[in-house]
């Protein structure tokens, strides 16, 4: 096989309807071999359906899916070189851990000795050596999760599909499994398609992410692409936190625009492509951690806002200020917690200046347009 | 809390057991004991029970006639169970998978015949199977020889009647065990390369074994002791062990022999059930 095709997944204008409901609406994806690719979105956005289309549990209503360069329309799941880790794990309750993991190899009619050998290997890969005789019901959630992973990996699929595999685990175990998954994916080098609604998980694990909403892909990019350059309000809101300021274009300047924020006096600069005209309504997004907060006035002309601290929250790694600029304009500011000696928290009701660099502003189209 | 610190049940708990216990003692333990005693007694010249201890009632079972009836009953009950399993499994499978809106309607349809008396339904079958009955007329209309099942093949007719009568007892426990299976398990099997047939053999079937066992017991036991169906279909001339026992308590006025037969039947059922559990390797139902 052509090396560039190994583990590659292409979706071409794939649509899936259930009766009157369109779960997936004309999606096109090109997932490279060996990539850790995440489908990220809120529940009901079509990410699991997309995964099930790739696995073969659902047939596309229209469009085409190619696995390793070959169209798989009409090929049932058991003849696809793809394995799935299910959200519920779907371990066979009547079989032992070994039998669960060996199931795929048994279906391929491998000799018993060969199956045992491979099962042992993969058990040690997922750190479950010695638990092979147990039934799934005798394992903890984290261990069951590893069995599900081992059961898929032992078949050496070209592509591994993971449907919210860590959703049922508690926070600490989830963090640990995230690291193990990432290490494992590098180790085995196969394509992972990972479905999650947890943006932090997607950011920390993925090479690339497709953000989905209402059956459509809104943006595809690396984690930093999506965080630094979201292309719409939804992506900026779903990935990380953002302040959204409704604004009007006031004028052009070199390499960008000046904006007048609704509910504030000052003019704000933002870099922008051409194609905006004065008077146009836009949205300016700024990440809370990109904002500087200070009781001392910065030298004019400054790029920022003036307001009053209405709430201070201590969040451990950071301090979160809610600053009231006007009745209609609240701003969230994150300040790293560098130790109380160096940066004593600004008390409530203080008058403060919030500033940011023009390049930290993200210009988005107004939702009404 | 019904248990104290040392894990013993409290006195109140035992008090609550008394009504049930009384019921079981009065209407099960005592009659069973009486029947056991009777099975070792002798028949009086004009019926009745003479309390002379004997093993003769059990020895009489060695007579070829009675042994044959017993074996025949076992055979018919086994055939009925297998037929119910073969017919009932696909039905239960379909019911467990069908969209929920229709499921309750279909389950209701399965149970609706039970609203009619069993005797009436058995008579209805007689009208279908008898000479020039519905079945014969259909065959004749198709220019085929009339099978005249009820008179030419009474044993097969009894078998048909029993399958009809007890099919629902097989379907309901099967349905219960299939319905609670996580559909994701089947998808997992497909995903791991199992064809639909292999998925059924390695996942669906083994997971439904408790239903298979429960259904089989619920069909086998009443089939073995069937009374009405062979009585009506055979016109009193075709005997399963249930009819034989009925005769002893009725026309033959031989209660001791009837009691012995009943005990043999009970023992057989018990042994059969235990053996079946062992074979299936399942303790939990």
pLDDT digits (tens, 9 = 90+) for B155-211: 899 999 999 999 999 999 999 999 999 999 999 999 999 999 999 999 999 999 989
**Best residue of A59, A78, A88, A162 to probe chain B, by most B CBs closer than 10 Å:** A78
Dihedral of CA atoms A10, A54, A100, B187 in degrees, nearest 10, equals -170
Nearest neighbour of A83 by CB, restricted to B184, B191, B207? B191
Q: How far apart are CA A53 and CA A59, in angstroms?
A: 6
Question: Hey, are the CB atoms on A77 and B203 less than 8 Å from each other?
Answer: no
Q: B207 contacts in A (CB within 8 Å)?
A: 92-94
Of A96-105, A299-308, A337-346, the poorest mean pLDDT is in: A337-346
Q: In 3D, which of A129, A183, A193, A190 has the Cα closest to residue A162?
A: A193
Q: A158 contacts in B (CB within 8 Å)?
A: none
The residue count for chain B: 285
SS3 label, residue A311: strand
Which residue has 């066992």 as its token pair?
B213
* Token reading at B172: 């309901």
pLDDT of A1 strictly over 60: no
pTM: 0.81
State mean pLDDT over A299-304.
84
pLDDT of B235 strictly over 90: no
Q: What is the pLDDT of residue A228?
A: 93
Q: In 3D, which of B151, B146, B144 has the Cα closest to residue B135?
A: B146
Q: How far apart are CA B53 and CA B187, in angstroms?
A: 64
* HSE-CB for B60 with a 13 A CA cutoff: 17
CB of B132 within 8 Å of a chain A CB? The answer is no
Q: How far apart are CA B150 and CA B134, in angstroms?
A: 12
Residue of chain B nearest A87, judged by CA positions: B184
Which residues, other chains included, contact A328 with Cβ-Cβ below 8 Å and sequence gap of 6+?
A: A262, A263
Q: How far apart are CA A185 and CA A7, in angstroms?
A: 13
Phi, psi of A45 (to 5 degrees): -90, -5
CATH tag for B63-279 (out of 1.20.1630.10, 2.70.98.40, 1.10.3720.10, 1.25.40.10): 1.10.3720.10
pLDDT of A173 strictly over 60: yes
Q: How far apart are CA B81 and CA B125, in angstroms?
A: 19
Q: What is the ipTM of this complex?
A: 0.83
Distance from CA of A77 to the nearest CA of B (A): 5
Domain ranges for chain B, please list them: 63-279
Which pLDDT band, with edges at 50, 70 and 90, does A123 fall under? very high
Chain B 151-210, CB below 8 Å of chain A: which residues? 182, 184-185, 187-195, 198, 202-203, 206-207
Question: Hey, are the CB atoms on A57 and B193 less than 8 Å from each other?
Answer: no
pLDDT of A368 strictly over 60: no
Chain B 207-266, CB below 8 Å of chain A: which residues? 207
Distance from CA of B72 to the nearest CA of A (A): 37
pLDDT of B3 strictly over 80: no
Question: Hey, are the CB atoms on A77 and B187 less than 8 Å from each other?
Answer: yes
Question: Hey, are the CB atoms on A107 and B192 less than 8 Å from each other?
Answer: yes
Cα B263 versus chain centre, distance: 17
Average of per-residue pLDDT values in chain B: 88
Q: B202 contacts in A (CB within 8 Å)?
A: 103
């Amino acid at each position: 096989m052509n090396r560039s095709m190994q583990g590659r997944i292409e979706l071409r204008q794939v649509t899936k309807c259930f009766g009157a409901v369109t779960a997936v609406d004309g999606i096109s994806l090109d997932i490279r071999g060996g990539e850790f690719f995440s489908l990220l979105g809120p529940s009901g956005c079509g990410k699991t359906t997309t995964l099930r289309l790739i696995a073969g549990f659902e047939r596309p209503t229209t469009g085409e899916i190619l696995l390793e360069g070959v169209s798989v329309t009409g090929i049932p799941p058991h003849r696809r070189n793809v394995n799935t880790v299910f959200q519920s794990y779907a371990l066979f309750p009547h079989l032992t851990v070994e039998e669960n993991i060996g199931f795929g190899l048994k279906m391929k009619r491998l000799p018993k000795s060969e199956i045992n050998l491979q099962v042992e290997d993969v058990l040690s890969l997922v750190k479950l050596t010695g638990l092979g005789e147990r039934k799934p019901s005798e394992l903890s959630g984290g261990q069951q999760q590893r069995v599900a992973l081992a059961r898929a990996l032992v078949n050496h699929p070209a592509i591994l599909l993971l449907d919210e595999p860590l959703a049922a685990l508690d926070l600490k175990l989830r963090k640990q499994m995230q690291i193990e998954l990432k290490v494992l994916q590098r180790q085995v080098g196969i394509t992972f398609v990972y479905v999650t609604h947890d943006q932090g998980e997607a950011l920390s694990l993925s090479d690339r992410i497709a953000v989905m909403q209402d059956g459509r892909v809104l943006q595809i990019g690396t984690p930093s692409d999506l965080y630094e350059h979201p292309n719409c309000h939804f992506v900026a809101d779903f990935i990380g936190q953002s302040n959204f300021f409704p604004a009007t274009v006031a004028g052009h300047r070199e390499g960008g625009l000046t904006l007048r924020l609704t509910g504030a006096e000052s003019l704000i600069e933002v870099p922008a492509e051409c194609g905006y005209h004065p008077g146009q309504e836009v949205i300016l997004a700024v990440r809370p951690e990109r904002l500087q907060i200070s009781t001392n006035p910065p030298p004019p002309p400054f790029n920022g806002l003036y307001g009053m601290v209405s709430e201070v929250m201590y969040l451990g790694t950071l301090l979160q200020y809610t600053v009231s600029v006007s009745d209609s304009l609240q701003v969230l500011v994150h300040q790293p917690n560098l130790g109380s000696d160096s940066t004593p928290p600004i008390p409530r009701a203080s008058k403060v200046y919030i500033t940011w660099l023009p390049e930290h502003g993200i210009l988005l189209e107004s939702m009404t347009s | 809390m019904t248990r104290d610190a040392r894990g013993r049940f409290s006195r109140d708990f035992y008090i609550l057991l008394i009504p049930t216990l009384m019921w079981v003692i009065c209407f099960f333990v005592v009659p069973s004991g009486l029947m056991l005693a009777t099975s070792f007694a002798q028949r009086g010249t004009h019926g009745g029970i003479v309390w002379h201890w004997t093993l003769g009632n059990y020895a009489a079972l060695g007579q070829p006639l009675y042994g044959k009836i017993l074996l025949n009953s076992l055979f018919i009950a086994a055939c009925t169970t297998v037929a119910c399993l073969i017919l009932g499994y696909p039905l239960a499978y379909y019911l467990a998978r069908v969209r929920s809106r229709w499921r309750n309607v279909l389950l209701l349809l399965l149970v609706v015949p039970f609203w009619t008396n069993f005797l009436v339904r058995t008579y209805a079958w007689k009208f279908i199977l008898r000479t020039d009955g519905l079945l014969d007329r259909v065959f004749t209309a198709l220019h085929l020889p009339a099978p005249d099942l009820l008179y030419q093949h009474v044993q097969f007719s009894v078998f048909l009647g029993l399958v009809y009568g007890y099919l629902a007892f097989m379907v309901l426990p099967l349905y219960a065990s299939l319905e609670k299976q996580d559909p994701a398990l089947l998808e997992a099997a497909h995903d791991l390369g199992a064809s639909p047939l292999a998925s059924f053999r390695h996942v669906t079937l083994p997971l439904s074994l408790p239903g298979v066992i429960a259904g089989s017991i619920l069909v086998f036991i009443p089939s073995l002791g069937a009374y009405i169906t062979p009585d009506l279909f055979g016109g009193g001339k075709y005997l399963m062990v249930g009819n034989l026992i009925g005769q002893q308590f009725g026309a033959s006025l031989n209660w001791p022999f009837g009691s012995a037969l009943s005990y043999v039947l009970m023992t057989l059922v018990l042994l059969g059930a235990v053996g079946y559990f062992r074979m299936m390797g399942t303790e939990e139902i």
